[in-house]
Structures are given as C-alpha cells and as structure tokens.
Amino acid sequence: MTEWFNETLHEDYGQHLSIDRVLYREKTEHQDLIIFENSRFGRVLALDGIVQTTEGDEFIYHEMLTHLPILAHGAVKRVLIIGGGDGGMARETLKHQDIEHLTMVEIDPAVVEMCREHLPTLNAGAFDDPRFELVIADGARFVAETDERWDIVIVDSTDPIGPSEVLFGQAFYAGCKRCLTEGGILVTQNGVPFVQGEEITSTYSRLKPLFADVWFYLATVPTYQGGPMAFGWASDDMGLRALDTATIANRFASKSIATRYYTPDVHTGSFGLPVYMLDMFKR
C-alpha cells in the first residue's frame, strides 16, 4: 500500500505526495524533518508537515529570490541569507562570480547536514565554496546584533509557524534593514497570496514604515499550492524596481549564468500584480 505525505499547512486545503522511499526522518530540537523520494518531484524536504523544497521545482524559487535582486542592484559584493539550509539559495547566489562573500544563517544544523547528504544537487558544491560562510544562529537575533553589512538580504524562511514566526515581524525587518548597505535590497518568502493573503497584508504593513519602496513579485512554484507565490521586495532606492528589461538583459548577458526559469522578461514582468493582491495592501 502506498504511503502518503499529507501536508498540514492549511486546515481546509492541502496536497498529498506519495512517499516512495524515506531517506531520512528526525525530530530535531527545532522541527520535525523528513526527506523522501516522490516519483514526480524527486527528493522532497518537509519540515513540520509542510513541503519546503523538491528536486523537481526548486530552481524556480531559488532563481527568483537570488538573480532578481542581484541583477536589479547591479553591484552586489556581499549577500546575507537567513535560512536556506537546503543550499539552493547559496548555489544560485554563488553563480555570480563578482560576489565576494555569502553569509548563510541557519537555526538548525541538522537541516544543513541532512540536505548535504540527501539533497546534494541543491547546494551543488556551494557549501564548499571559499566565499561561503555558515553561521548556526537564530536569524532574528543575528540581524539585531551583527556589525556586518550586506548589499542583499534574502529571507528564505519557512511559513510563519514555529521557529520562523519571528521572521515575519517588524522587529526582524528592522534588523534586516540595519544590515543593508546604502541602496541595498531585502527580499522575502511570502507564501501564496490566494490562500495566505494575511502574509501579504502583514508584511506590507510592517515593511512600509521602514523602506521607501515596498512591493511584491510573483512566480509559480508547483509544490507551493494555491496559485502564484509572492516574494517581498523592500529597498530605499526607488529606481531599482523600475529598471527596464533592456538594462536587466545587459546585466544578465554579462554574467553568462545558466537558468531554467529566470529571464530578464520574467524579471520585469513579475512585478505586475493582480487586483486581488493590490486589495490586500488596503486592509
């Protein structure tokens, strides 16, 4: 009989994936972790009953949270990732050879070790890159206390449940801002607006007092069910989000980076939002 993984993110809506083989399962100090194989999506990482990433579609999520802000900024040397223990965000970030240093702050060392062993294609050697630094710490405390600064801060968090709930608060966002260099960009994971609209409303209201330009952009990731996924955008440079496709295309061409989802057209088009999302800003 087939064993099924039944996602528990929503009480009234969900998905289930067949568990063809369990590769690893552990209840760590911070969360319940499982890595299993699925015939359609390959290897799947889930935390506390919620799918975090899969080999099949992870490239969409990771490319959009890295290449978009890096190319919009245009002169990135230092990047900070909060979360990201699977390594996919580090992999895509370090494709940019002009980046000098990447700091990844992950609260749970078990996630990093198990993903290194059972999901090696996600980090694809990024954990061994000399530009990579791993810090095991609470992300909210880290941004509040560090003296270092970064050009881009990427919040690759789980949903606002359990240990990640603090990563959606205004105090955390204020900490992220203090970590940014002048003209820096903060990007965040903000769920699927159609079924998680409260995340958009709360994030917008908490970022708006802190940054001159606050917005969201979209991409469709199949295993994040319910429609397009939203990523938060915040910067004090009003011009970065408005760059035209030709400018982004020139920057992208100079990088010689291979992608499977991201293109300059996708970059500029992703900032166009549907009316139901715009209404969430008014609540």
Extract the tokens encoding 103. Answer: 């700091």
- Is the domain covering 58-280 a CATH 3.40.50.150 domain? yes
The residues pairing with 230 across neighbouring beta strands, listed in sequence order, are 218
Q: Note the maximum CA span of the chain.
A: 57
Do residues 116 and 149 lie in contact, with contact meaning Cβ atoms separated by under 8 Å?
no
Q: Where in the chain is the domain with CATH 2.30.140.10?
A: 3-54
DSSP code at position 147: -
Phi, psi of 201 (to 5 degrees): -60, -45
User: What positions carry a catalytic annotation?
Assistant: 156
DSSP at 166: G
Round to whole Å and give the CA distance between 228 and 217.
10
Tens digit of each residue's pLDDT (9 = 90 or more) over 83-113 = 999 999 999 999 999 999 999 999 989 889 9
**pTM over the 0.85 mark:** yes
pLDDT of residue 218: 98
8 Å CB contact between 194 and 276: yes
Rounded average pLDDT per 10-residue block, the chain, 283 residues: 86 90 85 92 93 96 98 98 96 98 94 92 97 96 96 86 70 95 97 92 94 98 94 98 98 96 98 97 83
- Write down the pLDDT at residue 163: 60
In angstroms, the CA 220 to CA 197 distance is: 16
* Long-range contact pairs involving 147-150 (C-beta distance under 8 Å, separation at least 24): 148/78, 148/80, 148/103, 148/179, 149/78, 149/179, 149/180, 149/181, 149/184, 150/78, 150/79, 150/80, 150/103, 150/179, 150/180, 150/181, 150/184
- Short-list 201, 236, 240, 241, CA closest to 217: 241
Enumerate the CATH 3.40.50.150 domain ranges in the chain, comma separated: 58-280
How far apart are the C-alpha atoms of 112 and 86, rounded to whole Å?
6
Angle (deg, nearest 10), helices 197-207 and 170-179 = 50
Alpha helices in the chain (DSSP H): 58-73, 88-93, 109-118, 120-123, 139-145, 170-179, 197-207, 245-255, 264-269, 275-280
- Provide CATH code, domain 3-54: 2.30.140.10
Residue 78 forms beta bridges with which residues?
101
